[in-house]
Structure 1
Amino acid sequence: MESFTEKWFGFQPEILPEQFVGRMLSARSTKTFADTDAANMAYLKARERLLNVNEWGAYTNEALADFQLVDENGEKVSGKAAKGLRIRIDIPGPGTFEGEGFDWALIEEMEEDAREDLEYVAFRVRPAANPEKKKSEVAHFYNPQSTSTMVVYRDDLSVTCAIYDRNLSANTEHTTNLADKMRNAVVGNLAASGLSGVQWQALVDALWGEMA
């Protein structure tokens, strides 16, 4: 399968950016099943839960934050993750002025492939502007070079849920609001130092649902 590359940390999708600046974090959870039918069922369930972004907070008992898919105008979307949709993120504590209390991200790339013994779905998220405002400043605690790549894959009888954060740094350059700069410096550095990885681990562990 050309779309998949085996690297130092299991299988990773081609849409995963190279690490070139800042910090990187990864969260991963793998289960191995007795037969192909059980592995397929587990993959399909984890895939469904990964794409159901609006329920991420419920899956983790709000250990992460509240996530809401929206369209390019900021209107709520009830469906599943798709390229071009935004994610409105409500994390504990104060939000940004530019984001009107929220952090915003764009699902900028998505891929999916399958064959008999290997299948996966993945999408990449990047900090973005508040779609409800005309200004183009990034409204997120991370710099726009930072990304999160979410993936669920089945390799024969093993199913893995993983999130890869790459090129993490606080967003202090892509906003002109002083309060936002200060807030992003604190939140962004805490997240990049490891808090984001802890929270993402809670999510990948929760994607199994009742199988956990």
Structure 2
Amino acid sequence: MITDENENNLIPVQHEGSRMDVVEKRSGETKEEAANIFKRACERLMNVNDWGELAGLSAFQLIDSSGVRVNREVKEGDYIRIDIPGPGTVAGMGYDWVRVEEIKSVEENGNSLLGMRVRPCAHPVSDSQEAAHFLKDAATSTFIIRLNGSEVSAEEHGRNEIANTDAEKLLDKGRNFMVGVAAKLGLSYPQWKSLVKAFLSD
């Protein structure tokens, strides 16, 4: 059984700020059905450009390491451009940005796990190192699809979430504070809940 989040080093230790754990589970009537649900959920996780349609709120666009939009499965080192409702960041040219730090696939004792961790980052073609995101770059989001026997779970784990009020631009300071407070109050939970449920849907 693959259950220990630290065993796979995908979910960082919580040190500061807020944390969030969003988990949705679904059982297959047989192990074969569960395996099919797991496979489909993994495909949806890896196809970032479809997340917006699945979650029904923000729009997500996969960007390669050169800053070019791509339509393929996500890879380590890729960027994800996020268009959340409301004004975007000046630093991010109207968007929030994260970079894919790690993608890990684990098989153990007949069970399987696919995980991906992302972190706020600068705009990929900017000279600035400032995180173009409403959270500081200490924050991470880890997405996991897990198969244990006939049960499949889809998860999002946020760690060390602190509003990015150190932004260089005054407009970004205010905007990031407001969006960060909204996230801390749990207003981002419905979007992630919607997404992980969609990963497991028929």
Q: Name the residue aligned to 2:72.
A: 79
SS of the equivalent of 2:37 reads: helix
The residue type equivalent to 2:197 in the other structure is D
2:112 matched residue in structure 1: 119
Matching residue's letter, 2:81: R
Separation in 2, partners of 1:179, 1:143: 16
Q: Tell me which residue corresponds to 2:121.
A: 128
Which residue number corresponds to residue 173 of structure 2?
A: 181
Q: Structure 1 residues 12 and 47 mapped into 2: Cα distance closer, same or farther (>3 Å)?
A: farther
Q: 1:155 aligns with which of 138, 143, 148?
A: 148
Q: 1:6 aligns with which of 1, 4, 15?
A: 4
For the residues of structure 1 that align with 2:48 and 2:157, how far apart are their CA atoms? Answer: 16
What is the aligned-residue RMSD (CA, Å)? 1.6
**Corresponding position of 2:46:** 51
Q: What residue is the counterpart of 1:104 in the other structure?
A: 97
Which has the higher mean CA deviation after the structures are superposed, 25-34 or 86-95? 25-34
Choose the corresponding residue for 2:186, options 194, 197, 203. Answer: 194
Equivalent position of 2:198 in the other structure: 206
Does the residue aligned with 1:207 lie in a helix, a strand or coil?
helix
Instruction: Report how many aligned residue pairs link the two structures.
Output: 202
Which portions of structure 1, spanning 4 or more consecutive aligned residues, are displaced by more than 6 angstroms?
Answer: none
| Partners of 1:111 and 1:33 in 2: CA distance | 24
- State the alpha-carbon separation in 1 of the partners of residues 67 and 190 from structure 2: 28
Gaps (5+ residues) in structure 2?
none
Deviation digits for residues 125-173 of structure 1 (CA, Å, limit 9, x no counterpart):
1000001222211100011101100000100110000000011110012
- Secondary structure, in 3 states, of the residue corresponding to 1:29? strand
Partners of 1:72 and 1:84 within 8 A in 2:
yes
Q: Is the 8 A contact 2:38 2:152 kept in 1?
A: yes
Distance 1:150 1:126, change over 3 A: same
Equivalent residues of 1:25, 1:192 under 8 A apart: no
Uncovered stretches (5+) of structure 1, i.e. residues with no partner? none
Q: Does 1:34 align with 2:26?
A: no
Shift of 1:5: 4.5
Q: TM-score, normalised by structure 1?
A: 0.90
